Amino acid sequence: MNDPFKVLGGSVAVLAAMALLNGAMLAQDGPTRATPRTNGHNIHVFPTASLKASAALADTGPLVYHGGPVMQNGVTPYAIFWVPAKLQNGATTAISAHYQTVQKNVLGDYMAHGIDNNNTQYTQQINFTGPKTYIQNKGSAVISYIDTNPFPASGCVDTVTPGNCITDAQLQAEITRVMTLKAWTGGLNKIFFVFTSSGEGSCADSTNAQCSYTYYCGYHSYFLGGLTGTTPIIYANGPYGNLTNCQAPGTPSPNSDAVADAAATLASHELTEAITDPELDAWYTAQGNEIGDLCAYDYGLYYNWDGGKANQMWNGHFYMLQTEFDNNQLTCTQIGP
């Protein structure tokens, strides 16, 4: 998770720590598909700002292909807004209508614009055999659902949200429940975002060491589901926007809703990484970093929109989104080649 514009020297120990940070086993190029990177379960995290800064290292890429699939034929994003009346500890919780609109806009506007165009340089050649195909800069409109079903009993301990915490298994169960309710199907052309409401945390490991706001601001992953149990369900965990831990200080708010803007850059980060590495065995560096990690909290040099408060304008909507890694130029970019 290196910022190419502000590189700090790295050591073997730091490299190893960063590999652990991403749940990464260093994959080797070879004739067969790489084993997904795992720390007991398959996830890939978007680190908190402080964790990224403390673990800065000289990983300037490139991203290397490891034989797995990409989301090459466009993607349909699904947004599940999980908004019960109460948290597990009885406190009130909410996601404002405007917050939801910003997330639906960024997911729906993403396709066929600059960051998605950057993805088109990345290819797929399963197990390094057969034809090589490129990611296409296209997709479908966002599909959304507001779920007021109660949160399950707190299954983990997130120190930032004591008493209110969902596990990765509980998150998967929510996705499966809503998919069944709405008759949604999975596959490598769909991604399911779960945006949780204010005050709700999560942990992705059984030891409560990898939790929202202290270790990550979100993550993406997949599991197998559907009628046969073999369909990949690509999903992302979107904890409620957090300005202390999940946004660079002083970042402008083009939507006059700072927590929604923080969540929007998370959504863009996870969508980009899911497109290029949906099953955690496609595009990443030797240290295990994905396309978004190399540019996390880097917003580029040009804030050309909305009076200098936005670096992207898609379909008339303004955003301040992190850059993504350009494998041709070996740098972070706001717009693809």
Q: Which whole number is the average pLDDT over 155-160?
A: 97
- C-alpha count within 13 angstroms, C-beta hemisphere, residue 194: 32
**Where is average pLDDT lowest: 23-37, 101-115, 189-203?**
23-37
The half-sphere exposure of 130 on its side-chain side, counting CA atoms within 13 A, is 10
**pTM for this predicted structure:** 0.90
CB 45 within 8 A of CB 215: yes
Residue 274 has what DSSP assignment? Answer: H
Q: What is the mean pLDDT of the chain?
A: 89
Q: Which of 323, 285, 332, 325 is nearest to 21 (CA)?
A: 285
Name residues whose C-beta falls within 8 Å of residue 194's C-beta, 6 or more positions apart in sequence: 80, 82, 171, 174, 175, 235, 236, 237, 238
Phi, psi of 146 (to 5 degrees): -100, 120
**Quick one: pLDDT at residue 32?**
67
Q: pLDDT-derived band of residue 219, with 50, 70 and 90 as boundaries?
A: very high
In the predicted model, is pLDDT for residue 17 greater than 90? no
Every domain of the chain and the residues it spans: 12-333
The pLDDT value recorded for residue 60 is 87
Instruction: Find the length of the chain.
Output: 337
* pLDDT band of 315, cuts 50, 70, 90: very high
Provide mean pLDDT across the span 27-47. 64
Host H or E run for residue 259 = helix 258-276
Q: Is the pLDDT of residue 19 over 80?
A: no
pLDDT tens readout for residues 233-279:
999 999 999 999 999 999 999 999 999 999 999 999 999 999 999 99
How sure is the predictor about 58, in pLDDT bands with cuts at 50, 70 and 90?
Answer: low
pLDDT in the model for residue 118: 97
**pLDDT band at residue 15 under the 50/70/90 scheme:** very low
* Percent of the chain surpassing pLDDT 70: 88
